[in-house]
């Protein structure tokens, strides 16, 4: 008898009358799969890249850029020499994905050089300081007197730049010295350089008398001058954000940057085509809101119906119980309808924590994965903040959020990604990760998981939110939509609370997410929905097999998920071309 069955029998004997426990072991047959060639190679690529990244740490360093460029170019040449024609479906996919990733990284190195050059006029003194910090990281001997002279010269240059800044036009002038985004980039360069110089100084301070004796005072004065100059740049050219004043900076990458990023994601659409797609989806969602609004007795005034839904929040202290109830409901639904296989360990291992007040400033809604972070106000918030957070996280809005973050969404997805084709984590993509979770929102909506109009309004709030994200994020990087206009769109066309809309826009443009991240939610979901129609609705696969096969394939662009599920051996020079919408 199998060991897991023996254990189950022992438990049943020890606890008569208890329900039979599901096994915690996976199906053993899956471990008899023939070995692929590419996973070990991708793992070596990742480990070697991490080792180089561990040494070449100086941001903007010339040695770092040169080393990374050499690494990527040699790996690309080595890949081209591999026996691609002998590979099966999955190895071909991994080959193409790694080749694509390397191409993107090389383009990013060029883009980083260009962005640095655009900001350099505001920080003309910074390159020698970066070189100084990088020389230490490269373990080159340094002369104390020469270093002190360099620091002193740099100090004078920083002070001159400060004087020129204070004498020049500020952000409110018709022609400021630099755009807000370029000025913010200069502030980030200053912060990174100050950090690298702090590590440089700590390396020698007290350990190398000939150097620390020389540089003690020049370093301290330069460190303060860099901080003062960064503060002045923030004050005069960047602007400060607050709860009611947006002043989001962001760093638009332009159309060429978006095209490069879409190439990495294997999306064969232009930014303009994706924005047109989003307008269609948002218009459809607004029509769905009007249907639910009429059922609630508010006619076509869906804003009034949504206002009613927002008032249906739970009392303080009851939010965790609400989340547990919604999670159990979603898990039971996918179980009862045989929609996806749930490993028992995944079912048992998700947990819950509360989202801190600080994080709620930029993330006013739930976050998740193996831990769902619950948004709800604390007693220290103002009365207005408490109401806005409760209204924005009411049970009808949270209905879609909970299954998005847990099961069948991110928790299940990331659990499986660690266990199937884990080498493909290198190819992490919001189009796959967020697309999977939003696909389930779409699927469950189509299956009438939300019966009450209040629940449909809550689910459609998020659906429209995803469409608006495509519009304002791509529009921002194309120079067509400002952050303030993005806030107005979220309030007027989605139904956001004003503070929550501002937090959402800050989250989108504060630099924590890549430029295409916000667009990935709905576009990735539409890809998986189109593939479902092609394979499941046409009778070629069951819904259960479709979902399991996606999860067992690891993180891939949807077009390569499609090739994998259809058993297609893609070509070495594969180019995306699937028109899914």
**What total of structural domains would you count in the chain?**
3
Q: pLDDT value at position 388?
A: 78
d(CA 134, CA 128) in angstroms, rounded, equals: 10
Regarding whether 115 and 129 lie in a shared domain, the answer is no
Regarding whether 264 and 208 lie in a shared domain, the answer is no
SS3 call for 36? coil
Regarding whether 512 and 367 lie in a shared domain, the answer is yes
State which of 81, 101, 119 marks the end of a domain.
Answer: 119
90-99, 179-188, 318-327 — most confident range: 90-99
d(CA 25, CA 364) in angstroms, rounded, equals: 38
Whether 15 is in a domain gets the answer: no
Regarding whether 262 and 137 lie in a shared domain, the answer is no
Residues 105/68, Cβ–Cβ less than 8 Å: yes
Nearest partner of 454 among 309, 307, 290, judged by Cα: 309
Does the structure show a pLDDT above 60 at 16? no
Residue 165 lies in domain? 123-238
Whether 415 is in a domain gets the answer: yes
Regarding whether 45 and 136 lie in a shared domain, the answer is no
Whether 4 is in a domain gets the answer: no
Provide the percentage of residues in the chain whose pLDDT is more than 90: 72
Residue with tokens 């991994």: 94
State which of 84, 119, 154 marks the end of a domain.
Answer: 119
Q: pLDDT value at position 174?
A: 83
Does the structure show a pLDDT above 50 at 268? yes
What Å distances lie between residue 351 and 320, 328, 337, 370, 374, CA to CA? 11, 13, 24, 6, 11
Regarding whether 440 and 305 lie in a shared domain, the answer is yes
Positive or negative torsion for Cα 455, 456, 461, 462: positive
Whether 6 is in a domain gets the answer: no
pLDDT, averaged across the chain: 90
Whether 156 is in a domain gets the answer: yes
Q: Can you read off the two tokens belonging to residue 132?
A: 């100084």
Residues recorded for the chain: 581
Regarding whether 210 and 151 lie in a shared domain, the answer is yes
Residues 422/554, Cβ–Cβ less than 8 Å: yes
Does the structure show a pLDDT above 50 at 168? yes
pLDDT tens digits, one per residue of 198-242: 999 999 998 999 899 999 999 999 999 999 999 999 999 988 654
* 10-19, 395-404, 479-488: least confident range: 10-19
Nearest partner of 466 among 428, 435, 433, 440, judged by Cα: 435
Regarding whether 479 and 395 lie in a shared domain, the answer is yes
Q: pLDDT value at position 404?
A: 92
Regarding whether 127 and 113 lie in a shared domain, the answer is no
Residues 264/101, Cβ–Cβ less than 8 Å: yes
Q: Can you read off the two tokens belonging to residue 46?
A: 């990742």
Regarding whether 540 and 394 lie in a shared domain, the answer is yes
Residues 6+ apart with CB under 8 A from 5: 23
Regarding whether 328 and 180 lie in a shared domain, the answer is no
State which of 58, 87, 119 marks the end of a domain.
Answer: 119
Regarding whether 449 and 410 lie in a shared domain, the answer is yes
Residues 6+ apart with CB under 8 A from 144: 208, 210, 211, 212, 213, 214, 215
Residues 178/232, Cβ–Cβ less than 8 Å: no
Q: Can you read off the two tokens belonging to residue 268?
A: 């064969």
Q: pLDDT value at position 509?
A: 84
Helix, strand, coil percentages (3-state) for the chain, rounded to 5, are 70, 0, 30
């Amino acid at each position: 008898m199998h060991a897991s069955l023996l254990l189950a029998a022992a438990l049943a004997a020890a606890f008569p009358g208890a329900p039979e426990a599901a096994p915690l072991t996976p199906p053993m047959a899956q471990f008899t799969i023939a070995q692929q060639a590419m996973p070990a190679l991708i793992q070596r690529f990742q480990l070697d890249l991490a080792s180089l990244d561990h040494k070449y740490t100086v941001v903007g360093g010339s040695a770092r850029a040169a080393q990374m460029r050499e690494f990527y170019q040699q790996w690309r040449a080595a890949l081209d020499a591999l026996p691609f024609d002998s590979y099966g479906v999955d190895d071909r996919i991994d080959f193409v994905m790694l080749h694509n990733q390397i191409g993107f990284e090389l383009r990013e190195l060029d883009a980083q050089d260009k962005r640095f050059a655009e900001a350099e006029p505001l920080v003309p003194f910074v390159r020698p300081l970066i070189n100084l910090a990088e020389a230490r990281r490269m373990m080159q001997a340094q002369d104390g007197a020469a270093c002190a002279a360099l620091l002193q010269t740099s100090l004078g240059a920083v002070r001159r730049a400060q004087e020129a800044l204070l004498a020049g036009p500020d952000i409110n002038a018709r022609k400021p010295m630099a755009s807000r985004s370029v000025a913010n980039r200069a502030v980030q360069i200053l912060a990174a350089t100050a950090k690298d110089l702090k590590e440089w100084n700590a390396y020698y301070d007290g350990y190398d008398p000939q150097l620390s004796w020389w540089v003690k005072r020049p370093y301290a004065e330069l460190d303060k001058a860099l901080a003062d100059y960064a503060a002045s740049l923030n004050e005069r050219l960047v602007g400060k954000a607050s709860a009611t004043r947006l002043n989001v900076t962001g760093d638009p990458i332009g159309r060429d940057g978006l095209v490069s990023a879409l190439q990495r994601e294997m999306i064969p659409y232009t930014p303009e085509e994706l924005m047109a797609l989003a307008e269609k989806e948002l218009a459809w969602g607004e029509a769905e809101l009007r249907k639910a609004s009429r059922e609630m007795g508010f006619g076509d005034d869906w804003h009034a119906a949504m206002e009613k839904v927002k008032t249906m929040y739970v009392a303080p202290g009851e939010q965790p119980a609400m989340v547990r109830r919604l999670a159990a409901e979603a898990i039971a639904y996918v179980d009862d309808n045989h929609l996806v296989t749930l490993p028992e360990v995944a079912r048992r291992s998700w947990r819950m924590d509360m989202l801190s007040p600080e994080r709620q400033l930029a993330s006013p809604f739930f976050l998740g994965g193996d831990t769902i972070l619950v948004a709800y106000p604390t007693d220290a918030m103002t009365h207005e903040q408490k109401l806005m957070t409760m209204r924005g996280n009411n049970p009808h809005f949270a209905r879609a959020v909970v299954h998005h973050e847990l099961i069948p969404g991110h928790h299940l997805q990331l659990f499986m990604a660690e266990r199937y084709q884990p080498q493909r984590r290198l190819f992490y993509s919001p189009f796959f990760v967020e697309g999977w979770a939003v696909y389930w929102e779409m699927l469950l909506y189509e299956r009438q998981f939300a019966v009450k109009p209040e629940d449909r309004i809550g689910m459609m709030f998020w659906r429209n939110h995803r469409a608006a994200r495509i519009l304002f994020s791509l529009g921002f990087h194309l120079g067509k939509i400002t952050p303030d206009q993005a806030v107005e769109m979220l309030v007027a066309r989605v139904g956001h609370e004003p503070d929550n809309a501002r937090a959402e826009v800050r989250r989108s443009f504060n630099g924590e997410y890549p430029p295409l991240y916000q667009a990935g939610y709905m576009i990735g979901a539409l890809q998986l929905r189109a593939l479902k129609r092609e394979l499941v609705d046409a009778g070629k696969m069951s819904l259960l097999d479709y979902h399991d096969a996606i999860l067992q394939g690891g993180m891939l662009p949807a077009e390569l998920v499609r090739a994998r599920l259809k058993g297609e051996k893609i070509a070495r020079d594969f180019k995306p071309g699937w028109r899914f919408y």
